[in-house]
Amino acid sequence: MQDLTRGCKFSEHMFLFWLICAMLIATSRRQVVTQVDLLNKVRILADAAKYDVSCSSSGSTRSNKAGGVGNAAAAGICHSWSADGRCISLLKILMTNICAYDCAYCINRATSDVERAMLSPEEVAEITINFYRRNYIEGLFLSSAVFRSPDETTERMIRALEILRREYRFNGYIHVKVIPGTSPALTTRLGFLADRLSVNIELPSPQSLHALAPQKSSEAILGPMGQIHDQIHESRETRLAVRGATAYVPAGQTTQLIVGATPERDHQILQLSEKLYQSFQLKRVYYSSYIPTVSHPNLPSLFTAPPLRREHRLYQADWLLRFYGFSAREILDDRHPDLSLDVDPKSDWALRHLDQFPVEINRAPYEMLLRVPGIGLRSAQRIIAARRAGTVDFDLLKKIGVVQKRARHFITCQGKFYGEASQDEQLIRAHLVADSPSGKDSGLGQISLFDLSLPVLSVVSSCAVDSGEF
Amino acid sequence: MLVYDFDGSFEGLLSALYQSSVRKEKPDQILARPGLEVNWLDQHVTIETDLAAAEKVARSIRSRISEQAFEHILHVFQTERPERGYWIDRYVRLGFRFGSCVDDHLQEDIIRTVHEQSRRVSRETHRMTGLIRFIRSSAGIYYAKYEPDNNITMFLAPHFADRLADQPWIIHDIRRGVAALYNKKEWILTGTVPAALASWTDCDDVFEDMWRAYHRQIAITERINPQLQRNLMPIRYWKHLTEFSQ
Ligand code: SF4
């Protein structure tokens, strides 16, 4: 019977042992070491790292090894949310903000007047393991300014990771940002210690990069991306042949680009992302609204508000690329170079393709359901399930999570249409804008991590009835 | 109204399902005895927990409906809602009618209710894998107290037994007086925890200060949005979070 509740065993004897431990704890003493200095460094280097947008730690599943500490869960886990509403999953910190480079958009550039600090590899490892043991974090997201040279900086990061993996036997999640210009040999070593690597594109075109970050070339960015891509591939092959071989970047690579600092249009950005997903098999592209921290002739003025809504729309469009079967050219083209700020990208696409609608909910293929505004991944899967069991009527749609208000203009249920006019773009657009949760999503940079843990519901099912008594 | 009452345990509820099949009855409610107010207009049947019968019911749910259905039932039970007995009973009846297809039948209100309740429990479990905070004692024991909406300690423990395998820990649901104890080898669930355990707080741990400093620092001032923060992390959970204490 105990098996029913998954191996919960109870032993009086063991509990006594625990009680004694509990008593011991009451005598806990203050640690004498003065850590004020370390605290201050953490403050400076967390501050310097905070404009990195990546909070996702998903993509890797690994059970803990015997005797070690840590595992990586496949669906990202948020451990807290900061006052700006962003998920805190990883300890995101720079090894140092002392930089030899002078990128115009960066607060840590060599000529900037900020407080500087540097953590030793030992300190990085110690803070990470102690945060992890208290369950503050899911793992480490380490990056760094360029201290003297890319290679010297990377050596220090490798050292920190080696201490964590070997001495502390830390098995949790590690994401490292590769410094452009790091030698291939060091990138390889890094890749065998980390779960995820990212090389940041930073700006959406080589011209912009040249204008604002003259010490970084597109080759210095695309080179390592290509290398990591090839090595991930190789490592997968090796691991098929040799069981237990160390994995190289098992959670894949990601990148980040800054939106709003330079004149690129949304369609250029989406085409770039699509190319990155296709040719480098990136796991994610992160978009970060440019927040002016420095004044520079080539940059928006210090009083420019960060384009948060645009960033949000880019994330929605990115979602369409990765999960909804859209191509970048379908979402935007030369005639429509920017995402609409009024309606979400899927609605905008549907409004421009009214000839494909309305679709019948009880017959449309899964791929088409996904293209209906107001129907998400989960509700499309539920529609498919409910269709296996019977017919789907309009009332049921709401009950299984479809946004009826939005979807009604684009569907029929058992032949009946619930919108006002099926082909009138202006009218439908006006309805969608009026019904949109305008103020609600304005601060939303990234879709909540809970949305990432989608159910692995199969669209095809084989189910059976077996009647009888117990 | 026909009311079955059981002792409040999962096995007790399964015994009630068994009895309803033996007696060929369809109870209107299946309620836990502790705290039950008896209405003299109702017809009451007191169910004795029968481990062998419960085992049988569990086995047929898993084999004739599905493992997933059994998982839903386990979750719904831990919501501790008074309707849970009714929901589970009706779900199981549909399950025996539709077999492993039962979860496709979203047209049935009861199926959607069970999914929704089950999802509430999984969602809270997932959320708590992040929001549990351990305090470290000088003896090297890690202690966490929390007050989840649902009784999820048994779902959380396996996650931490895998993740924090090399440190002894206690996860204590102080509202229910339930705790999971882990000794670096295996974990147990116990309902007898000394209340004094919950008053463990201060350990003058430098990493707690560091975490608070980090948490404050990492927010981007230009994007401060307390409403969003509270939507994502409901304020009722803040009480036991290190970053908001002191
Ligand atoms: S190399 Fe990095 S840290 Fe240094 S100035 Fe450029 S962006 Fe900033």
Which residue's C-alpha comes closest to atom 5 of ligand 1? A109
Both B7 and B114 in one domain: the answer is: yes
Q: Which of B88, B123, B158 is the last residue of a domain?
A: B123
The secondary structure of residue A177, as a DSSP letter, is E
What's the pLDDT score for residue B158?
Answer: 96
Ligand 1 pocket, mutate which of A44, A97, A103, A153 (most atoms under 8 A from CB): A103
Which of left, alpha, beta for A359 (phi over 0: left; psi -120 to 50: alpha)? beta
Both B6 and B119 in one domain: the answer is: yes
Both B156 and B202 in one domain: the answer is: yes
What's the pLDDT score for residue B203?
Answer: 63
Q: Each residue of B183-210: pLDDT tens digit?
A: 999 999 998 877 677 676 656 788 999 9
Both B111 and B136 in one domain: the answer is: no
What's the pLDDT score for residue A59?
Answer: 45
Both B238 and B180 in one domain: the answer is: yes
Both B33 and B115 in one domain: the answer is: yes
A139-158 mean pLDDT: 94
Both B114 and B139 in one domain: the answer is: no
How far is CA A357 from its chain centroid? 33
What's the pLDDT score for residue B38?
Answer: 79
Distance from the B41 Cα atom to the nearest Cα atom in chain A, whole angstroms: 31
pLDDT tier at A327 (50, 70, 90 boundaries)?
very high
In this prediction, what percent of chain A has a pLDDT beyond 90? 55
Both B16 and B51 in one domain: the answer is: yes
- Choose the weakest-confidence range: A74-88, A367-381, B139-153, B172-186: A74-88
- Choose the weakest-confidence range: A20-24, A76-80, B21-25: A20-24
* Model confidence at B221: pLDDT above 70: yes
pLDDT tier at A289 (50, 70, 90 boundaries)?
confident
* Model confidence at A333: pLDDT above 90: no
A123-147 mean pLDDT: 95
Residue given tokens 């304005």 in the structure block: A442
Phi, psi of B31 (to 5 degrees): -120, 150
* Contact assignment for B181 to A14 by CB distance below 8 Å: yes
What's the pLDDT score for residue A106?
Answer: 81
* Contact assignment for A69 to B99 by CB distance below 8 Å: no
- Sign of the alpha-carbon dihedral angle for B239, B243, B244, B246: positive
* Model confidence at A5: pLDDT above 50: no
pLDDT tier at A437 (50, 70, 90 boundaries)?
low
Phi, psi of A232 (to 5 degrees): -60, -45
* Model confidence at A331: pLDDT above 90: yes
Boundaries of domain holding B142 = 132-244
CB contact, 8 Å: A292 with chain B?
no
Q: Name the more confident of A430 and B198.
A: A430
Residues 6 or more apart in contact with residue A12 via CB below 8 angstroms: none
How far is CA B132 from its chain centroid? 14
Outline where chain B has alpha helix (H): 10-22, 51-60, 67-77, 84-98, 109-131, 153-163, 206-218, 226-232
The rounded distance, in Å, linking the Cα atoms of A8 and B78 is: 15
What's the pLDDT score for residue A61?
Answer: 56
A108-136 mean pLDDT: 94
Both B90 and B12 in one domain: the answer is: yes
pLDDT tier at A145 (50, 70, 90 boundaries)?
very high
Residue given tokens 């202006």 in the structure block: A426
Which residues on B lie below 8 Å from A444 (Cβ)? 228
Question: What spacing in Å lies between the alpha carbon of A458 and ligand 1's midpoint?
Answer: 45
Q: Each residue of A48-91: pLDDT tens digit?
A: 887 654 334 444 556 666 667 777 665 578 999 988 888 899 99
| Pick from A6, A26, A68: CB nearest B165 | A68
pLDDT tier at B73 (50, 70, 90 boundaries)?
very high
Six-digit token pair at A249? 């970047």
Question: What spacing in Å lies between the alpha carbon of A162 and ligand 1's midpoint?
Answer: 24
In this prediction, what percent of chain B has a pLDDT beyond 90? 75
pLDDT tier at A29 (50, 70, 90 boundaries)?
very low
Residues 6 or more apart in contact with residue A409 via CB below 8 angstroms: A357, A358, A373, A419, A420, A422, A428, A431, A432
Both B9 and B110 in one domain: the answer is: yes
pLDDT tier at A461 (50, 70, 90 boundaries)?
low
Both B144 and B55 in one domain: the answer is: no
Q: Which of B123, B144, B162 is the last residue of a domain?
A: B123
- Short-list A381, A388, A355, CA closest to A366: A381
Q: Is A49 in the pocket of ligand 1 (CB under 6 A)?
A: no
User: Which amino acid is present at B20?
Assistant: S
pLDDT tier at B122 (50, 70, 90 boundaries)?
very high
Q: Each residue of A89-103: pLDDT tens digit?
A: 999 999 999 999 888
| Pick from B99, B205, B243: CB nearest A463 | B99
The secondary structure of residue A417, as a DSSP letter, is E
What's the pLDDT score for residue B178?
Answer: 93
Quote the strand ranges of A314-420, DSSP E. Answer: 359-360, 411-413, 416-417
Question: What spacing in Å lies between the alpha carbon of A216 and ligand 1's midpoint?
Answer: 9
Number of domains in chain B: 2
Q: Each residue of A357-375: pLDDT tens digit?
A: 999 999 999 999 999 999 9
**Which ligand 1 atom is at minimum distance from the Cα of A107?**
8
Q: Which of B123, B146, B173 is the last residue of a domain?
A: B123
B147-164 mean pLDDT: 96
Q: Each residue of A206-242: pLDDT tens digit?
A: 888 888 888 888 888 888 899 999 999 999 999 988 8
Q: Which domains does chain A have, with CATH numbers?
A: 45-327 (3.20.20.70), 345-441 (no CATH)
What's the pLDDT score for residue A297?
Answer: 80
pLDDT tier at A263 (50, 70, 90 boundaries)?
confident
Which residue's C-alpha comes closest to atom 2 of ligand 1? A145
Q: Is A99 in the pocket of ligand 1 (CB under 6 A)?
A: yes
* Contact assignment for A28 to B18 by CB distance below 8 Å: no
Mean pLDDT of the residues in chain B = 92
What's the pLDDT score for residue A30?
Answer: 38
Question: What spacing in Å lies between the alpha carbon of B8 and ligand 1's midpoint?
Answer: 61
ipTM above 0.90, yes or no: yes
In this prediction, what percent of chain B has a pLDDT beyond 70? 97
A187-209 mean pLDDT: 90
* Model confidence at A441: pLDDT above 70: no
pLDDT tier at B154 (50, 70, 90 boundaries)?
very high
| Pick from A5, A11, A470: CB nearest B18 | A470
What's the pLDDT score for residue A447?
Answer: 39
CB contact, 8 Å: A31 with chain B?
yes
Both B136 and B119 in one domain: the answer is: no
What's the pLDDT score for residue A419?
Answer: 87
